[in-house]
Amino acid sequence: MERQEILNKVITLVADHFELDPASLTGETNLMKDIDADSIDFVELVLEMEDEFGAEISDEDAEKLITINNTVDYIASRAK
């Protein structure tokens, strides 16, 4: 899967989960600060990403997913 395709899917998941306009999200969007997600929201989002991409994301790895770009890079590295 190409990085751009992963980026588009992650942005769509984040936008849908938090009821945001996908156009307002970029790779630099901070999932905790810019979106004002609490820890429960974040866990739910990680679970949705696991389902979408068929990859398990450990709690330790999830803590490193700060921005949308971090998340895309992580998923891209797991898909290889």
CATH number, domain with residue 72: 1.10.1200.10
Q: Are 33 and 22 in contact (CB under 8 A)?
A: no
pLDDT at 26 over 80: yes
Place of tokens 């810019």: 34
**72 confidence band (pLDDT: 50, 70, 90):** very high
Domain that holds residue 30: 3-79
Q: Are 8 and 22 in contact (CB under 8 A)?
A: no
pLDDT at 80 over 70: no
Q: Please state the rounded mean pLDDT for residues 44-51.
A: 95
Catalytic residue among 36, 38, 59, 61: 38
The answer, as to whether pTM is greater than 0.85, is yes
* Sign of the dihedral through C-alpha 12, 25, 77, 3: positive
* Residue type, position 22, single letter: P
What's the number of domains the chain is made of? 1
Token output for 44: 């739910």
The yes-or-no answer on residue 21 being catalytic is no
pLDDT at 6 over 90: yes
Q: Please state the rounded mean pLDDT for residues 38-49.
A: 93
